[in-house]
Structure 1
């Protein structure tokens, strides 16, 4: 199972340092209903990662047993990420657009925050592609049921950590975190395109390499 976990790490880190969900969580932690909306957002984020990953674990399992399907899937996902990374790299110096939902965070209810967290994890194309890559990697490895579950849990915990840790910490030490969270939000807003473009390019190349290796 060790080699599988090794393949999952860059994908999990890719999801974890995706700036938009982190900014969303921070905005909720700085908002009027910080404790409840942030918990809803974190639960939705985790659920989205779990569901997207498990779906592709099942697809990856069906594509194993000596076929080249898993390799082609990884190659296709890698090409998609590479293309998106190139697009974002070219656009990184342009005006930073802010999603409309960010301006509504103060009035957001926990259920809405849960749905938003789920959408950013399971529907947002960039995070979905990385979760898909993880699922195909796990499913195609032909692990036992217990090892498959462990691999999914490891991926989800790492991928969700950058949202879960601030939310959990806020429940314990809200006042101490306000200043650091505000500074982190400003830095991420200023640098999110460069961060994401670099990350997507690297992971896209890794997936293409894994796909080619699987087809060789």
Structure 2
């Protein structure tokens, strides 16, 4: 199980370091309906992560079984393809990074976050985690690692829980911190939002590039 955990940790981190959902969570926590909407968004975010990783873990079980002592060309090929896709996403993030003193552009739907209901907060969290192309690629890589790891059912559950906990942490931490000390968290959250807005494209480009190269390396090593 240790080897599988080592494989999924960087992928879970790739989901966790997603500036847009963190910015969305912070905006909700600074809105009039902060508590209910923020908690709902976190619930949707976690649910989407679980749905994606479980789905890809189940899909990995339909791949032909290889001799444990032989090469694994199918898993290797899939990992290489996923790694290339991550590098393509990294290039797109780098291309779209703000230049000079230009104000970074954020999705237009963020302007309506103040008016979100808890139900819509759940839906938004679910969409951002389960249908984000980058998160799907991370979940696919993790699912392949879990499926090829020869784990028992209980070990698989443990790995999925660890993946989910790490992937959800960066959205969970500001929500939990706000619930614990709402009066003191407004300014720190605003400062964090400003930093994420400014640096999110560059951070994501570097992260996706590193994880993509690592995944390609693991794919080549499977042959």
State the TM-score, normalizing by the size of structure 2: 0.93
* 1:110 equivalent in alignment to 2:118: yes
Could you state the TM-score of these two structures normalised by the residue count of structure 1? 0.96
1:77 to 73, 82, 104: 82
Q: 2:166 aligns with which of 158, 163, 186?
A: 158
Deviations 1:111-137 (A, max 9, x none): 111111111111011111112211111
**Structure 2 gaps, min length 5:** 67-71
1:88 maps to what in 2?
A: 93
CA distance in 2, matches of 1:71, 1:148: 21
- Cα-Cα RMSD: 1.2
Map of 2:139 onto structure 1: 131
Structure 1 residue 59 displacement after superposition: 1.4
Equivalent-residue separation in structure 2 for 1:160 and 1:45 (angstroms):
7
CA distance in 2, matches of 1:140, 1:32: 47
Matched, 1:50 2:50: yes
Q: Which residue of 2 aligns with 1:149?
A: 157
Q: Look up the match of 1:68.
A: 73
| 1:71-103 CA distance string (max 9 Å, x none) | 222111111001111222122234522111210
Structure 1: stretches of 5+ with no match in the other structure:
none
Larger C-alpha radius of gyration, 1 or 2?
2
User: Structure 1: which 4+ aligned runs deviate by more than 4 Å?
Assistant: none
Aligned residue for 1:97?
Answer: 105
Q: 2:94 & 2:87 partners in 1: Cα distance?
A: 10
TM-superposed deviation, 1:212: 1.2
Q: Which has the higher helix share?
A: 1
* Residue matched to 2:5: 5
The Cα offsets for residues 23-72 of structure 1, whole Å up to 9 and x where unpaired, read as 01000011111000001100010000000011110112222521532222
